[in-house]
Amino acid sequence: MKSIMIRLETIEDVKDFVSIMVQFNGYFDLASGRYVVDAKSVMGIFSMDLSKALVLRILETNERIDDILTALKSFIVEE
């Protein structure tokens, strides 16, 4: 499992993020505290507090992690 911090600040960010995530096969979660949702679920993401950074957890995938991180580079934050 790999975890990275991301920030989704607008509705467009959420739409763009989900459209990227659905391109990859595997299991991905977004977490904020103890609350966890599927990273491919627009409705799940909108139920989260987007005022702070979220943890993207790459749980299981056959994709290259570097490819996923490159696709998500505009959302990744250092915290």
pLDDT tens-place string over residues 33-71: 899 999 999 999 999 999 999 999 999 888 899 999 999
Of 8, 23, 18, nearest to 41 by C-alpha is 18
Q: What is the pTM of this model?
A: 0.90
The pLDDT of residue 55: 96
CB atoms inside a 10 Å sphere around CB 64: 10
Is the model more confident about 61 or about 18?
18
For residue 70, which amino acid is it?
A: T
Token pair recorded at residue 4: 């990275």
